[in-house]
Every structure is written in C-alpha cells, then in structure tokens.
C-alpha cells in the first residue's frame, strides 16, 4: 500500500462505521482525532461477543493486514492503540475460555472432527444451503465469509516462524497450496474473489464489514488473536486443524448447493478445490503439524484443544445466527445486499 511522506496510507479499504462508543473512539483516533481511547474498565464492561467490541478488535487487527485508507501506517504499533487491543483481547479470550473445557486431551478433541454426521441435525449451515439452495442465502454466506477468505491463510502463516521441524515443514507445505502453489491465479483468496464475482458480489477487500454481524467478526478475530501472539501458537494450530479437518465435507455440500442454485463454474471451483485439497491437508495436519508440535512442545496440548474448541464455539454461534435469520425469512446481515446484477436461475424446487 503506498504511503505519503508521513506514512499515511493513500489506498486501501475504508474504515467501517462504528457500532458503539468503543469502536467510535478507536476509529476517531485512527483518523487523526486524538480523542480519549477506551480504558481497560470501558473495555471490560462491554459484551465480549457484542458488535462494539468485536468491531473494535477487527479494526485494530486490520492494521496488521492491509490497513485502511487515510490511516497512518505507523499507527499499527502505536502504544496507546496496542493497549486498547490488549485489553479487548484479554476480555474476549477470557469469555472464550469460560465456555471451553480447559482439557489437554488432543486426541479426544480431534476425534469428533473426523466424524461426518449421518444427516443434518438442524445446526449445519452447509446442509441447510444444500437442501434449500436459496441464491440470496448463498450470496449472504459468501459475503460474510469474504472477511476471512479474501485473506485466506494469512492469519495462519504467522505461526510458521514459531514452529520447528516436522510441524513447520508440514505447515509450510499446506500453506503453499493455500497460496496457489506459486500461481497467482490459483491463490485461494483469488478463487474466492472469483466466486464472489460469479454471484454479483463486491470483490473488494473488506467490502462487507459493515454488513457483518458480530458473530462473523468474532470468527475472523479469533484467528488474528491466535496468530499475533507467540504464546498462543498452540491455539492457532488447533484452530488450523479444526478448519482443515472439517473443510472437505462442508465444501462438497457448498459446491453442490452453488451448482443447484445455477452458479457458474468460478463460484463452484473454490469449494471443489477444497474438497480434494483439504482431504489431503487433514491427514498432514493431524500427523505432522499437530504430531510434530506435540513432539517438540508437549506442554502446548491444552492450547491446541483451546484452539479446536474455540473455533467450534464461535462457528456454532455464527451458524445459529445465520440459520435463525434465514428460517425466519430475513437477512442475516446488518444491511441487505444489493440484488444480483443478473439473477441466476432459481434452483429446482425453490
């Protein structure tokens, strides 16, 4: 991203609209209004899963990715900003830990991830989308997932310099695939942008932050939280394992749902690519990344479990929000999407 003489960013995503006093203070600070930033007490009075705190965290984390237009890049390491982020992280992580087991049995935590449910138990977004094949729901789902998939693999890459031996080699091998195996057109973030274009969605990075509910922001913030802290490297590996192990069957259903809804090959390709790739990655993650990390640092077992359970916790919260909204016939977004420029054919039976 180019910057002016003072380090001010001249291009990039725009800052999202604040959702409360905490995020408003942070946005104002980043844009040059040196207003009072939230105190630790202010942060700890907020709902750890609510819109205001989750947007605050998302905005501060994005300064470590692509930043924002008109925000000085030097603010990435501003001590006052980092203090606010640290308070928010502690509050969020404490809330997550309170709803996870604290167990250290990695095999026990991984085992349920390997079992594909016989049928839909009413809590699976991919099952719902496959059965309903409603185009407007598929578009909403893609818009929300763009917050992660347009930077897919970036948060997990932070763990590489913190690993060694088998775990590092295996992690790099998987990340190489995620980044297109050296081909820009095959980078998974690029494939997701192609999917979005096929669904007449805005492919700009961060385009749907304002539309995303707190449940969606939290799933992305969790990755950044784990990725930015060396002390949470085990949790990031656990998160990575949860994503890779469960990805293949869900991707198969989503590819089928897009096909039934009449989406084009670009929309389908992102998920069909993940069906085969993640089936292979699942084996490497379990045997080499987790196995190698536990061989080198067995004391990180509880953190790996935390990463797995925290991922499940926040994904379940997002799924509940999506399914409740959709079953009531209303948008799951904070603001509705613009209609598709060229409506796709209605799915059979829809």
Question: Does residue 136 share a domain with residue 64?
Answer: no
Question: Does residue 113 share a domain with residue 75?
Answer: no
**Contact (Cβ atoms closer than 8 angstroms) between residue 334 and residue 209:** no
Question: Does residue 258 share a domain with residue 110?
Answer: yes
With respect to residue 14, please indicate whether it lies within any of the assigned structural domains: no
Domain boundary among 98, 119, 146: 98
How far, in Å, CA of 320 to CA of 294, rounded?
Answer: 33
Domain boundary among 55, 79, 98: 98
Residue 267 sits in a domain whose CATH number is 1.20.910.10
List the chain pLDDT tens, one digit each, 350 residues. Answer: 334 445 555 578 999 999 999 999 999 999 998 789 999 999 999 999 999 999 999 999 999 999 999 899 999 999 999 999 999 999 999 999 999 999 999 999 999 998 876 567 788 999 999 998 689 999 999 999 999 999 989 999 999 999 999 999 999 999 999 999 999 999 999 999 999 999 999 999 999 999 999 999 999 999 999 999 999 999 999 999 999 998 888 899 999 999 999 888 988 899 988 877 667 788 899 999 999 999 999 999 999 999 999 999 999 999 999 999 999 999 999 999 988 765 454 433 33
Label residue 282 exposed, middle or buried (CB < 10 Å: 0-12, 13-18, 19+). Answer: buried
The dihedral over CA atoms of 146, 149, 150, 151, expressed in degrees to the nearest 10, equals 140
How far, in Å, CA of 46 to CA of 25, rounded?
Answer: 14
Question: Does residue 256 share a domain with residue 132?
Answer: yes
Region for residue 102 given its phi and psi (left: phi exceeds 0; alpha: psi -120 to 50; beta: otherwise): left
Question: Does residue 251 share a domain with residue 140?
Answer: yes
Helix axes of 51-62 and 21-30: crossing angle, nearest 10 degrees? 20
With respect to residue 338, please indicate whether it lies within any of the assigned structural domains: no
Question: Does residue 91 share a domain with residue 191?
Answer: no
Question: Does residue 294 share a domain with residue 189?
Answer: yes
Question: Does residue 262 share a domain with residue 124?
Answer: yes
With respect to residue 1, please indicate whether it lies within any of the assigned structural domains: no
Question: What DSSP string runs through 156-216?
Answer: HHTTGGG--HHHHHHHHHHHHHHTGGG-GGG-HHHHHHHHHHHTT---STTTTTTT--HHH
pTM summary value: 0.93
Task: Give the range of the structural domain holding residue 31, as residue numbers without chain letter.
Answer: 21-98
């Amino acid at each position: 991203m180019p910057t002016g003489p003072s380090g001010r960013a001249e291009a990039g995503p725009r800052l999202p609209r604040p959702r409360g006093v905490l995020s408003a203070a942070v946005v104002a600070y980043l844009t040059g209004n040196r207003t009072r930033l939230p105190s630790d007490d202010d942060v700890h009075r907020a709902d750890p899963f609510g819109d205001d705190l989750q947007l605050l965290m998302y905005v501060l984390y994005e300064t470590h990715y692509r930043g924002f237009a008109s925000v000085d890049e030097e603010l990435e390491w501003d001590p006052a900003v980092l203090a606010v982020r640290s308070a928010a992280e502690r509050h969020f992580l404490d809330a997550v830990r309170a709803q996870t087991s604290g167990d250290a049995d990695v095999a026990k935590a991984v085992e349920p991830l390997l079992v594909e449910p016989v049928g839909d138990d009413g809590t699976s977004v991919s099952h719902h989308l496959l059965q309903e094949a409603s185009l407007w729901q598929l578009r909403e789902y893609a818009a929300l997932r763009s917050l992660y998939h347009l930077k897919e693999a970036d948060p997990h890459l932070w763990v590489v310099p913190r690993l060694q031996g088998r775990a590092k080699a295996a992690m790099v091998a998987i990340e190489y695939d995620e980044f297109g195996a050296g081909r820009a057109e095959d980078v998974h973030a690029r494939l997701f942008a192609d999917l979005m274009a096929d669904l007449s969605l805005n492919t700009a990075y961060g385009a749907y932050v304002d539309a995303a509910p707190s449940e969606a922001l939290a799933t992305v913030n969790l990755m950044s939280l784990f990725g930015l802290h060396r002390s949470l490297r085990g949790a990031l590996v656990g998160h990575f394992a949860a994503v890779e192990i469960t990805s293949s069957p869900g991707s198969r259903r989503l590819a089928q749902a897009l096909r039934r809804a009449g989406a084009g090959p670009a929309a389908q390709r992102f998920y069909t690519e993940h069906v085969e790739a993640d089936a292979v990655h699942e084996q490497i993650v379990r045997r080499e990344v987790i196995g190698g990390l536990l061989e080198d640092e067995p004391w990180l077992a509880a953190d790996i479990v935390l990463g797995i359970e925290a991922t499940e916790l926040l994904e379940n919260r997002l799924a509940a929000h999506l399914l409740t909204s959709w079953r009531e016939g209303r948008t799951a977004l904070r603001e509705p999407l613009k209609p598709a420029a060229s409506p796709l054919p209605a799915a059979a039976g829809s």
